[in-house]
Amino acid sequence: MNEQLLEKILNNPVIPVFYDDDLQTCIAILKSCYAGGIRVFEFVNRGREAKANFKALLAYKEEHFPDLSLGIGTIMNPEDAERFIDLGTDFLVSPIFNESIAAIAQKNNILWIPGCMTPSEIAAANLAGCTYIKLFPGDTLGPGFLKSIRPVFPNIRFMPTGGVECAADNIKTWFEAGVSSVGLGSKLFSKKDGQYDLAQIEDNCRNLLAWATKKGT
């Protein structure tokens, strides 16, 4: 299961990171991203409707987008990890490393991408069985940080989140530094007159995937 999902992420290396209290907004965003080519999507556990909306999004994607992998982010403790695994999440993402979450992920054979900021945290996560690491916050660490540590961790894949720009040069710089995927939140979700611009979000996703897979200009 993990190997199949890892291969899917490598082939679809742009992961939107989104939350909204309103379910219909969540569905509209999911539809726009999917139309733009997204096949791996991270909903985040950051609001009062996180559990209910995630459950509804899982049902929606099973009916309409069965080839989409839908995971849950901002997992901070083992209790939340178990709760969303029981709901049926495809993967877990955290802004932190917590060895207890690693144990739960391994027990359930589910991919967990922990957030790390230092070489010591990355090494600890790797010792706990993690081979995919979220570099967080990406804008603080930057591509130069990854270039420096990449030779020390040749068997680990990295995904920066936070500060990744919706721009060709920025995406190129990150991938040249050695990332395997990128996560984007607010910079992906364009707004117009205070409302989400669904057409622009779809275009953003299409462009990001082209830049990330080197199929674009």
pLDDT of residue 61: 98
- Give the domain 2-212 fold: TIM Barrel (3.20.20)
Is 217's pLDDT higher than 70? no
Is 216's pLDDT higher than 70? no
Half-sphere exposure of 146 (CA within 13 A, CB side): 27
Mean pLDDT over 93-120 rounds to: 97
pLDDT of residue 163: 82
pLDDT of residue 214: 81
Single-letter amino acid, residue 167: A
Mean pLDDT over 103-121 rounds to: 97
Give the burial class of 53: count Cβ atoms within 10 A of its Cβ; 0-12 exposed, 13-18 middle, 19 or more buried: buried
Beta partners for residue 196, in sequence order:
191
pLDDT of residue 3: 87
- Closest C-alpha to 190, from 165, 161, 217: 165
Residues 135-146: tens digit of each pLDDT: 999 999 999 999
Q: Following DSSP, what letter does each residue of the chain receive, concatenated?
A: -HHHHHHHHHHS-EEEEE--S-HHHHHHHHHHHHHTT--EEEEE--STTHHHHHHHHHHHHHHH-TT-EEEEE---SHHHHHHHHHHT-SEEE-SS--HHHHHHHHHTT-EEE-EE-SHHHHHHHHHTT--EEEESSHHHHHHHHHHHHGGG-TT-EEEEBSS--SSHHHHHHHHHHT-S-EEESTTTS-EETTEE-HHHHHHHHHHHHHHHTT---
This prediction's pTM: 0.95
Residues 155-185: tens digit of each pLDDT: 999 999 998 999 999 999 999 999 999 999 9
pLDDT of residue 45: 98
Distance between CA 194 and CA 202 in Å, rounded? 17
Mean pLDDT over 90-108 rounds to: 97
Distance between CA 57 and CA 87 in Å, rounded? 11
pLDDT of residue 1: 52
Residues 15-61: tens digit of each pLDDT: 999 999 999 999 999 999 999 999 999 999 999 999 999 999 999 99
Tokens found for residue 49: 């409707």
CA distances from 157 to 58, 117, 189, 195 (A): 26, 14, 25, 35
pLDDT of residue 6: 94
Is 83's pLDDT higher than 90? yes
Distance between CA 46 and CA 107 in Å, rounded? 25
